[in-house]
Amino acid sequence: MSTRDQNPDSQRDALTAAGCDRIFIDKASGKIDRRAELDKALDYLRPGDIFVITRLSRAARSLRHLLDLAAQLREREVDLLVLKQGIDTSTPSGRLQFHMFGAFDEFLRELIVEGTLEGLASARACGRVGGRPRPWTLTAWRWPARCTR
């Protein structure tokens, strides 16, 4: 699940519509390599099964982890089907698409992290800090300084 959409109903609906007989939903971030429900799903798979996910970013955020997952599935003779991106690793073009989209997903994630860090550094340079605001008191409150950068 993403932080933007904490409700997994749309993902569950898509997996049900795809004919999945068992659905595993992880609440952990995709950037974490070890997740309990992903591990359970992988343990559940048998040769000839199809591992279905809604999008690549649901399984992992790094290309290395995606490649490890693909190798593990291939060793176990399990194909991967990614619904939103139309990837099916049972075909050569699907495997190519898997690798390309995995690289793009990692690239986009790195751009988001880089932009976030730049924004935080800029805010700190202007005297703003993150975190929960302090409670206001009449003696401690003052107008925040404006940054002219």
Give the end-to-end CA distance of the chain in Å, rounded to a whole number.
Answer: 37
Question: Is 29 among the residues known to form the active site?
Answer: no
Radius of gyration of the chain (CA): 21
The one catalytic residue in 2, 10, 29, 122 is 2
Of the candidates 16, 19, 80, which has an alpha carbon nearest to the alpha carbon of residue 45? 80
- List, in sequence order, every residue forming a beta bridge with 88; answer none if it has no partner: 81
d(CA 79, CA 51): 6
Q: Catalytic residue positions?
A: 2
